Every structure is written in structure tokens, then in C-alpha cells.
Amino acid sequence: MAKSSSRPSDQAVIHDQKLVRGDGGELHQVAQGSTPVLTTAQGGPVADDQNSLKIGARGPTVLEDFHFREKIFHFDHERIPERVVHARGYGAHGYFETFESLAKYTRADIFQRAGEKTPAFVRFSTVAGSKGSVDLARDVRGFAVKLYTQEGNWDIVGNNIPVFFIQDAIKFPDLVHSVKEEPDRAFPQAQSAHDNFWDFISLTPESMHMIMWVMSDRAIPRSFRFMEGFGVHTFRMVNAKDESTFVKFHWKPKLGLQSVAWNEAVKINGADPDFHRRDLWQSIQAGNFPEWELQLQLFDQDFADHFDFDVLDATKLIPEEILAPIPVGRLVLDRMPDNFFAETEQVAFMTQNVPPGIDFSNDPLLQGRNFSYLDTQIKRLGGPNFTHIPINAPKCPFHHFQQDGHMAIRNSAGRVNYQPNSFNDGPRESPQRGFRSFAETEQGPKQRIRAESFADHYSQARQFFISQTPPEQGHIAAALTFELSKVQTPVIRERMVSHLLHIDEGLANKVGDGLGLKAMPKPADAAIATRRDLGAAPSLSIVENGPHRFEGRKLGILVTDGTDAALLKALTAAVAKAGASFEVIAPKVGGAKASDGSLIEAQQMIGGGPSVLYDAVALLPSQAAMAGLVKESSARDFVADAFAHCKFIGYVEDAMPLLEKAGIADSLDEACVALSGPKDVAAFLQAIGALRQWAREPKVNMS
Ligand code: HDD
């Protein structure tokens, strides 16, 4: 008699029970009941998923086992090529809400009706590292927005920096080859600090403006939620009368701008390589939906002609002080994908996805991108039907005659698959509703040439640098020194300093000194002398545009057995009221017993929750626990790092021995706030809105 294919001893452990989360997040085991039956991809119910089909208990596996073969076949093909750039990313769903009609400027349907909500998907990313790299690499962040409008998908494929390294798309492969790992040794990963990158950059003066941005703290954001986003290029808006207005797109975070310090970034990458992912996940799951305002810089050709740089040059920006952006809508992210791979990994952004009413300019970087993005999706997603994947499909009605190919999911129905046709069947083009390109007049010889108007490579780099506050300028100098210190070829280091001399002599000297150059090089040959008359633009500084409240941030609360229960309760209530979050860090992750005997639940043990993971910290240990705590290096580092990173520190009197052991007891400043009881909590919450005590920085030398 045939035996059953599996025996009780073969079954996985929990078969008739499953884990569910309770209201407080705790896990319970419950009986399965309504659990669906496991099936093959063809829908056939599966009887045994633990054992392959064999001839006898110890015999060979048979080819007939279609469930086994399907399962392994699918597993074998789980990976698709990662993006050649922006491989590591994280996305979320949400919506865009239009503030008022922009019909004057554009016939784009999304901008016709005030209050209209359009579904959106956003993917944030780093550029250089591979899919599994760390979140806090020094890098540009991608900020790609897909808007599912009623007249087709509109992708604004931008970055958190408003300018770019190169002026012409033909240089993109060289740029990316230089920054990614070197081809013979396959390192460094997710790092621009190596010879190839700085060699290319030092030979490409047009990159100097962008270099100032990526050496600033913009390249190490605290979270996606605290970053600006930019469409970078000059685009066009075209109205119903076919009149064009130039436009630049800016996303402004509601929470303000915030970055981490380099020393924090290095430590965060070890403590939580998924820091940015976790942050977005946790805030959306907690109902704290990140929000950005879409602001537009709108201008005409006459305005553009006033500048001596070219608005078609992606290495330049128009300072907001000269042309104030106008708010036109808001983007809210309120839902995480159900599945990371299906949505975030397979989403395909393309600069050429624009609806009627939005159009391109002749920016040669944008023109090249419009070819590249379609091409890359075919390779990554395996064929021409990637728009059939739900995340990429339009959410408005669509009709066309494209058919067949790999994974064709919905060919059009009926006999007629061409037009014109005599059967009056199928869709026809509409000159009124369809996309009409702005009829710009073009003329000139066919040639490979860069316009003279693209030749000034240093003036805006200088303007960016002088627009930074002193701590931010210090961070740029420190970043350049660090990066160039990793370059092994001295001539590359010197060549970079020769460019910096055109940007700011003080900066060049500081970096030259930091690198130990024996003599300063001559300034690099410049096509155009740096303009010294461009004034500081505060809109370019993070510190000048930082928040003044703790909303959206996270407090780290260090507790032990005996922590003052009333104080802890008052503090956590105030944090929640401020729209912020907190984590409790205790000597053991199992928690601690408060002064009133209640259990304090902990999210981290001290070694797993260093202070770099928090925007501010509160030290609430008890006197009794102090003897043990001061012996723990992780507890001393927790405090010393918080101080060194210019963070606000709230502390109870009993924490003084720890402050002493951390070496800061004699240096306490006004950002170290004594918490003698619940009455001090309001003042502490008010203080930590400022986030960092910059005045401390010269003493601790955070860089
Ligand atoms: Fe790009 C991806 C942003 C120049 C070619 N790019 C990609 C993504 C972002 C940007 C945010 C990730 C989209 C996602 O999350 O899936 N890229 C930019 C910006 C640029 C820029 C702001 C300059 C202003 N890119 C650029 C050039 C080229 C490309 C000049 C090629 C000529 N970019 C690509 C690509 C990628 C890409 C190879 C890789 C994966 C993908 O497209 O879907 O086609």
C-alpha cells in the first residue's frame, strides 16, 4: 500500500497556530482557522511543502514533482538586475493635492482643479552603492515621484540636490564608472572617497558646483522626510494656447531640513545600516505621514536671458532669493507598499513620462536622459511590457495597439490591431487632447559642441560655499579633506585643491593644510574667472532652513531599574504630544523596573541603541544603577557621543557620575538640561526643537 508522502515528524513546527500582533504590538499565538491553502503559481492546492516527491523514503527525487520544480524554478529567477545607479532605494505610496488651478501656465490636467488628489508613488535612493549597501553613505539622494494623473503617468525623476555633476548626458557613463567600485578590485562600495572618482572630478571642472553640495551635509540627510527634492532641469509648462513658461520643480519638506554629522553617519552605518528605510517605515506605520510642498520657479525667456549662465545648464540653479518659488500643491506619503519587490524594486521611472501641458527644454542632460530611462527598463524588467506591472500601469483609461512580447498581460481585444482602419474600431489620436510638443524654432549647424554660456564652472560653487553657516563650511572642508585623504595619487589631491582656489581661498588652504600639501598648487586654468559679486543665498543652507520644533524627530531615553516613573511618564507624554517619537534604551532589552515597580518596556539595549540613532537624548538612570552603568563603555559612549555631536541632553542629577565618566561633566552648556522632575519637561521639549547646539562645535570638533 502506498504510504503518505510526509510523516508527522517531517512537518514544520507551527502548523496549526499562527502569530498575530495585539493592539500594543505584542505577539500572540492563535489557531489558524481561516488561513488560506498554499497553492502553486497555477493555483493548484499543495498537500506537502516540506518534502519533495521521491521513489521510496530514501530514493531519488522524481521529475514529475511539478510543485518542487515550479518552486525551485521561480526561486532561481528571483533576482532581476539591480539598477545601474540608484540601486538602493525605498518607496511609499501617497497622493498629490493641487492647491489651485494653474491653467494660466499649463493645460496639464493635474493642475486644473483646486483640491484634486492624484495618486503618487515615491522612491528615494542613494546613487553609487549596490542594493545591499548602507543608508548613510555620503551620496546624492534620488527623489523620484510618479504621479498617476488622469492624462497619463508623470514622473519627476529628481534628486535632493538641485544641480548635477555634468552638463551633457554623454558623460554619464564616465561619471558613474568613476564613482562606483574600481573595476579591478571591486571596492570601495558606496563611497566616493577613492582615486577614480576624484580623478574624474578633478578633470571635470563643470562638476565643482555639485561637488560643494555633495561635500556638504546635504549628502548625509537625517531622513528622507527632512530632505528637499528637485527636478534639477529647466522644464516647460505649456497652456491651452500653446504658450510656454519655463519651470523648475522644488519639493519642500514640511518638517524642515536636517542632516546628520559625518561622524554620526559613520556610526549609524554600523548601528543601523537601514536607518533611512526604518525611519520611513516607522513614521508611516505610526501615522506620521511625511509631507512636501511642490513649489515652482516659473520664468520666461526674457528673465532667462538676464543671467550670464544658461538655464539649460544643469550645473546651475536660480537662487530662490532671486526667483521665489510658488507653492502649487502638496505630496503626502501615507502607505507603505504591500510588497517591496513588486512595487519599490519594479517601479520604473522615466523622465520622458510627461502629460500634455508639461514639456522638455533643450538641456542636453535631460535630452539624453529621455533616451536612457526607457532603455534601462527593458533590461531590468525583462521586456517591453513593464507597463503591465501594476506599479507602472497608468490609473487612467488607456488604449493602444502595442501587443505581444514577453509577459504580455493585456493585448487589446477584437480583430483590429492597427489604425487607420475601416471598421471604426479601436482608439484614434486626438489633436485636441493629445500631447503637443512646444513648437520651438531650432536652427544651426549640426555639431558636437558645448555652448559658451555653459563655461562658468566656479561662480555658483563659490556662492553655495559662502551661503553656508560657519559649522556647515567647516563640514565641507572636513569632507573634502577626508575624501581626498583616501586618494592615493598625490597629483589628484593637488589638482582638486587647484580648483578650490577658484571657489574660496580659505577653503582651499584649509583642505591643502589638512592634506599636508608641502606647497599650494597654482589655481586651475579657468575658462571664465569666478564672479565674486554673487551674494550669499540663505536658502542654500540646511541650518538656516532647519526646524524649530521637535515634531517628526526621535528622542532616546536611557533608563535603568529605579528610573523615576513620574518623570518618564511626563516625558513620553510630552514627546507624543509634540508629534515626535521616542525609544527607551535600557541595560537589557527586556526592560527595567521603574521607581513605582512598573515595567518599563525597552526597544533597545544600550549597546544596540547608541545615541547616534536619536535627535536628542534624555538620561534618566537611578542612583542605584549607576555603579554598573559607569562601567559599561556603551553607556559612556552614549553620553560622550551625544555631547560630541552637539545634541541636546536632558539629565537627572543621578546621571552625574555617568557624565563625569564620559568626560563631559565640566563642559555642560545650556543644551544640557537638568530634569529634576515632571515640571522641567516642557522646557526640555521646547529646547530640543533647536536640535543641535552649534555653539558647542568649536569645542568638540564634530568633524
Ligand atoms: Fe538618472 C535612475 C535621477 C541623470 C540614467 N536617476 C535614476 C533615479 C533617479 C535619477 C532619482 C532612480 C529612479 C528610481 O528610483 O527608480 N538622474 C537623476 C537626476 C539626474 C540624472 C536628478 C540629473 C539631473 N540619469 C542621469 C543621466 C542618465 C541617467 C544623465 C543617462 C544618460 N538614471 C539613469 C538610468 C536609471 C537612473 C540608468 C537607473 C535605473 C533607472 O534609470 O530606472 O536610466
CA distance 273 to 135: 6
Q: Is 280 in the pocket of ligand 1 (CB under 6 A)?
A: no
Mean predicted confidence (pLDDT) in 513-520? 98
Distance CA 354, CA 26 (A): 46
Q: Is ligand 1 within 6 A of the CB of residue 142?
A: yes
User: Does the C-beta of 169 come closer than 6 Å to ligand 1?
Assistant: yes
pLDDT of residue 35: 86
- With a 6 A CB cut-off, is 232 part of the ligand 1 pocket? yes
Q: Are β-strands 141-149 and 152-159 bridged in parallel, bridged antiparallel, or unpaired?
A: antiparallel
Which grid coordinates belong to 224?
A: 528622507
Q: Considering its fold, how many domains does the chain have in total?
A: 2
164 close to ligand 1 (CB < 6 Angstrom) = yes
H and E: helices and strands count for the chain = 18, 20
User: Over the stretch 352-363, which tens digit does the pLDDT of each residue have?
Assistant: 999 999 999 999
Report the pLDDT value the prediction gives residue 30, as an integer from 0 to 100. Answer: 60
Residue 82 vs residues 130, 344, 345, 432, 442: alpha-carbon distances, Å: 8, 12, 8, 40, 38
SS3 for 182-228 is CCCCCCCCCCCCCHHHHHHHHCCHHHHHHHHHHCCHHHCECCHHHCC
By the 8 A CB rule, do 489 and 195 touch?
Answer: yes
Tell me, what CATH number does 606's domain have? 3.40.50.880
Mutation choice for ligand 1 from 160, 248, 369, CB with most ligand atoms inside 8 A: 369
Q: Does the pLDDT of residue 31 top 80, yes or no?
A: no
**Ligand 1 atom at minimal distance to the Cα of residue 368:** 32
Pocket test for ligand 1, best of 84, 86, 122 (most atoms within 8 A of CB): 86
Atom of ligand 1 lying closest to residue 373 CA: 44
φ and ψ of 226, to 5 deg: -115, 25
The reply to whether 436 falls in a domain is: no
Ligand 1 centroid distance, CA of 84 (Å): 9
Show the cell assigned to 632: 559599561
- 109 touches 237 (CB < 8 A): no
**488 lies in a domain?**
no
Q: Which atom of ligand 1 is nearest to the CA of 142?
A: 11
The predicted pLDDT at position 7 comes to: 47
Which residue segment(s) compose the domain that 138 sits in? Answer: 89-178+223-388
Cis link prior to 621 (omega < 30° from 0)? no
**What rounded mean pLDDT belongs to the chain?**
94
Helices (H), 578-632: 623-629
Nearest-angstrom CA–CA distance, 331 and 674: 39
CA 232–ligand 1 middle distance (angstroms): 12
* Predicted pLDDT at 400: 92
Residue of 218, 317, 349 to test ligand 1 pocket, by largest number of atoms within 8 Å of CB: 349
Q: Report the pLDDT averaged over residues 70-83.
A: 93
637 and 629 in contact (C-beta within 8 Å)? no
Q: Residue 242 belongs to a domain with what CATH number?
A: 2.40.180.10
Name the grid cell of 529: 574667472
Q: Give me ligand 1 centre to Cα 170, in Å.
A: 13
102 lines ligand 1 (CB under 6 A): no
pLDDT range class, residue 412, cuts 50, 70, 90: confident
Instruction: Decide which of 332, 365, 388 is a domain's last residue.
Output: 388
pLDDT in tens, 551-585: 999 999 999 999 999 999 999 999 999 999 999 99
Query: Which residues sit opposite 98 in a β-bridge?
Result: 329
Cell of 568: 518618564
Map residue 39 onto helix, strand or coil. strand
| Gap between the Cα atoms of 285 and 466, Å rounded | 40
Q: Which atom of ligand 1 is nearest to the CA of 143?
A: 11
**C-alpha span between 157 and 145 (Å, rounded):** 6
Instruction: Please check whether residue 666 lies inside any domain of the structure.
Output: yes
The closest-lying atom of ligand 1 relative to the alpha carbon of residue 89 is: 15
- What is the Cα 42 distance to its own chain's centre? 38
Looking up cell 582656489 gives 501
Residue 200 maps to a domain: no
Residue from 190, 209, 83 nearest 139 by CA: 190
Supply the DSSP symbol for 340: I
Identify the pLDDT of residue 576: 97
Alpha helices, DSSP H, located in 286-393:
301-305, 364-381
pLDDT at 626: 95
Other C-beta atoms lying within 10 Å of the C-beta of residue 596: 11
How many whole angstroms separate alpha carbon 322 and alpha carbon 324? Answer: 6
Q: Are 123 and 280 in contact (CB under 8 A)?
A: no
Pocket test for ligand 1, best of 82, 83, 125, 317 (most atoms within 8 A of CB): 83
Q: How many CB atoms lie within 10 A of CB 256?
A: 18
Question: Per-residue confidence at 547, pLDDT binned at 50, 70, 90?
Answer: confident
Residue 696, all three cell numbers:
558647542
Of the chain, the percentage scoring pLDDT greater than 70 comes to: 95
How far, in Å, from the CA of 172 to the mean position of ligand 1?
A: 10
Q: Is residue 484 part of a domain?
A: no
Q: How confident is the model at residue 29 (pLDDT cuts 50, 70, 90)?
A: low
Please indicate whether residue 502 or residue 22 has the higher confidence score (pLDDT): 502
Q: Which residue has the cell 483590429?
A: 416
Pocket residue to mutate for ligand 1, from 82, 155, 157, most atoms within 8 A of Cβ: 157
Distance CA 454, CA 461 (A): 14
Distance 127 CA to ligand 1 centre (A): 9
Give the pLDDT confidence score for residue 27 in this predicted structure: 63
Q: Is the CB of 349 under 6 A from ligand 1?
A: yes
The reply to whether ligand 1 has any atom less than 6 angstroms from the CB of 84 is yes
Residue 6 is predicted with a pLDDT of 45
Domain contains 485: no
Of the residues 372, 388, 404, which one is the last residue of a structural domain? 388
Pocket of ligand 1 contains residue 328 by CB under 6 Å: no
Question: Is the confidence at residue 24, as pLDDT, over 70?
Answer: no
- Ligand 1 atom nearest residue 91's Cα: 15
Residue 374 CB–ligand 1 contact under 6 Å: no
Pairing mode, strands 235-238 and 358-360 = antiparallel
In a domain, 34, yes or no: no
DSSP for 519-530? Answer: SPPPPPP-SSPP
Determine the Cα–Cα distance for residues 156 and 351; give it in Å rounded to an integer. 7
Contact assessment for residue 275 and residue 136, using Cβ atoms and an 8 Å cutoff? yes
Residue located nearest, by CA, to atom 18 of ligand 1: 158
Is 380 among the domain residues? yes
Q: Which of 272, 382, 284 is nearest to 334 (CA)?
A: 284
- DSSP letter (8 states) at residue 380: H
What's the pLDDT at 354? 97
Domain end, chosen from 333, 355, 388, is at: 388
Beta-carbon contacts of 478 under 8 Å, excluding residues fewer than 6 positions away, are 262, 514, 703
What residues are labeled active site? 86, 159
Task: Establish whether residue 626 lines the binding site of ligand 1, counting it when its CB lies within 6 angstroms of any ligand atom.
Answer: no
Pocket lining: 144 vs ligand 1, CB cutoff 6 Å: yes
| Beta carbon of 314 within 6 Å of any ligand 1 atom | yes
Predicted local confidence at residue 603, as pLDDT:
98
* Alpha-carbon dihedral angle through residues 202, 206, 210, 214, given to the nearest 10 degrees: -10
Q: Which atom of ligand 1 is nearest to the CA of 375?
A: 44
Query: How many CB atoms are located within 10 Å of the residue 358 CB?
Result: 23
> What's the mean pLDDT in 461-469?
98
β-strands 17-21, 27-31 pairing: antiparallel
Which cell is 586 given?
Answer: 535600557
